[in-house]
Structure 1
Amino acid sequence: MTDAPDDGELLSSQLLLRPLRTANAFEETVQRLLQTIRLGLAAPGTRLPAERDLAARLDVSRDTLRDALAALAGAGYVVVRRGRTGGTFVAERPPRTPLGAEGRPVDDEAPSAGAVEEVLAMRAVLEVGVTRRVAQRDLAADDRDRLWQAFEACREAEPADYRVADSRLHLLLAELLGAPQVVALMADSRMRVNELLDRIPVLAPNIAHSNDQHERIVSAILRGKPDEAASAMAEHVAGSEALLRGFFG
């Protein structure tokens, strides 16, 4: 099961900070930390857990963690402060440029049509399936409240903050399923989708339409209607696909 969020949080900032499952600990440590920052689980200015605690959560050596944090600091995602009140903090303005496997910014080249189609296919399969399964569950009262609050956070978000709120809602669906590996898959999918979305403008009509769809999805889940919820999510995903194909051909 995933960590319970603190009071007042929709999603725990520790959600993705779990033991790694890969032979390359450095690369996945960078990935997990970057996902935590770019998906909005750790807000700008937030202090990350102490090195000892963070290394234990990820089940990596402190040397590996320090190398990963150094890569993120060099790329501008985190800031290291010394002294009694020091630590590692999320940068106030994290860059939007994605990082490659070695923790270095990747070339800002337009994605190929094949790469876009792969991202969209993964998202469609994952998000529609997760939505259906969550709607089949008997959610606890506090989880039902968190889900509605996540929808409201999207509806009330300013355009500059919308994609973070949107990512939190979709990650919450994965968390409510109670399967940590699905959370990791959803985080990877959202990162890839957001890297595409960050290349195009935030369109007000698209946000309004997206919020209408979010309301249908969440309402169907709360009423225990899996077919209706899955259909609404499929329509939501199809809308994003049309928008991205329009920009990337």
Structure 2
Amino acid sequence: MDSKVDAVVDRLLTAIDVGEYLPGSKLPAERDLAAVLGVSRSTVREAIGRLAEEGLVSTRRGRGGGSFVTGRTGRAAHEATGRTLDHRWHEIVELVDTASRLQETVVRAAAERRTSADVVELEERLEQFRRADTGMPRQEADRALHAAICDAAHLPRLSELLARLESRISTGAPQHVWGEPEDQPEMEARALSDHEQIVALIRSGRAEQAGVLARRHALIDLDLLAQARRRRRAASRQGNGRA
């Protein structure tokens, strides 16, 4: 067995399991995943092949093709998630904390530098998030709204720095962790409330308040990952108890 391939399989299983990639989502191109994970394209290709053998992804050829998530995962993915989150937990906590501080800076800048056209765009993106169906449509609308906030800051290098940092947290960045199905309704309601307040604060130029809320909002990812980690640990203890 190739340990590098095994590690990439675990990362991708975890990403699917915690909702970085929801059913129907397209995985990033092999070259992009290879760059994020620090492995070769052949390693990524073999890992995706294993997921395809398990029926977790399907590969389509031609224009618009790629590897797509076919459904939620089972016991093997839950075990991979437990291993991955335990192994990376201290790193993830530090990365999310750092990203939340950068997000605060970006949103403060947006409140200070937004134009009237930026405000119109933010309002439109917020409405799209509000109207989107739960799951992948809402996740995509969330990505678009966050991109509009970065655009309103008019600091592209800072936005690029944030994007690079987020890619170390999630292989699906700039899309955010969306959680397990049972967590999504509460999380989406929380995200909508935060989004409405952040857009209102940016529109009115209240930079400090907008930044504080944005930093808190950025911690949703960590909350969802912590919930997944607790569940996997509890399941592992129950399994050991039955052994």
Q: Specify the TM-score bucket, using the shorter chain as the normaliser.
A: 0.5 to 0.7
- Tell me whether 1:152 sits opposite 2:127 in the alignment: yes
**C-alpha distance 246-223 of structure 1, shift in aligned 2 (>3 A):** same
Letter matched to residue 164 of structure 2: A
Displacement of 1:166 in angstroms is: 6.6
Matching residue of 1:122: 98
- Tell me whether 1:90 sits opposite 2:68 in the alignment: yes
Within a 5 Å distance, the mapping from 1:61-140 to structure 2 comes to: 64-65=40-41, 67-76=43-52, 79-81=58-60, 87-93=65-71, 107-108=82-83, 111=86, 115=90, 117-139=93-115
Please give the alpha-carbon distance, in whole angstroms, between the structure 2 residues aligned to 1:92 and 1:170: 26
Out of 188, 200, 203, the position equivalent to 1:222 is 203
- TM-score, normalised relative to structure 2: 0.54
Q: Which has the higher contact order (CA 8 A, sep 6+)?
A: 2
Out of 147, 167, 170, the position equivalent to 1:172 is 147
Please give the alpha-carbon distance, in whole angstroms, between the structure 2 residues aligned to 1:87 and 1:48: 11
Q: SS at 2:66's partner residue?
A: strand
Matching residue of 1:184: 164
Please give the alpha-carbon distance, in whole angstroms, between the structure 2 residues aligned to 1:174 and 1:218: 8
Q: Give the structure with the higher percent helix.
A: 2
Matching residue of 1:6: none
Letter matched to residue 137 of structure 1: R
Please give the alpha-carbon distance, in whole angstroms, between the structure 1 residues aligned to 2:24 and 2:225: 27
Letter matched to residue 68 of structure 2: V
Residues 135 and 222 in structure 1, CA contact (< 8 A), matched pair in contact too: yes
Residues 123 and 237 in structure 1, CA contact (< 8 A), matched pair in contact too: yes
**C-alpha distance 140-205 of structure 1, shift in aligned 2 (>3 A):** same
Letter matched to residue 217 of structure 2: H
Please give the alpha-carbon distance, in whole angstroms, between the structure 1 residues aligned to 2:51 and 2:134: 25
Q: SS at 1:136's partner residue?
A: helix
Deviations 1:132-154 (A, max 9, x none): 1222224472x544433332233
Please give the alpha-carbon distance, in whole angstroms, between the structure 1 residues aligned to 2:223 and 2:81: 26
Please give the alpha-carbon distance, in whole angstroms, between the structure 2 residues aligned to 1:166 and 1:220: 20
Between the two proteins, what is the percent identity of the paired residues?
A: 17
Please give the alpha-carbon distance, in whole angstroms, between the structure 1 residues aligned to 2:132 and 2:182: 16
Q: SS at 1:75's partner residue?
A: helix
Q: Which runs of 5+ in 1 are unaligned?
A: 1-26, 100-104
Letter matched to residue 79 of structure 1: S
For these two proteins, the number of residue pairs brought into alignment is 204
Out of 41, 44, 51, the position equivalent to 2:24 is 44
Letter matched to residue 132 of structure 1: R
Query: What value does the CA root-mean-square deviation take over the aligned residues?
Result: 5.3
Letter matched to residue 80 of structure 1: T
Please give the alpha-carbon distance, in whole angstroms, between the structure 2 residues aligned to 1:205 and 1:47: 26
Q: Which runs of 5+ in 2 are unaligned?
A: 1-6, 232-243
Displacement of 1:217 in angstroms is: 0.4
Residues 80 and 86 in structure 1, CA contact (< 8 A), matched pair in contact too: no
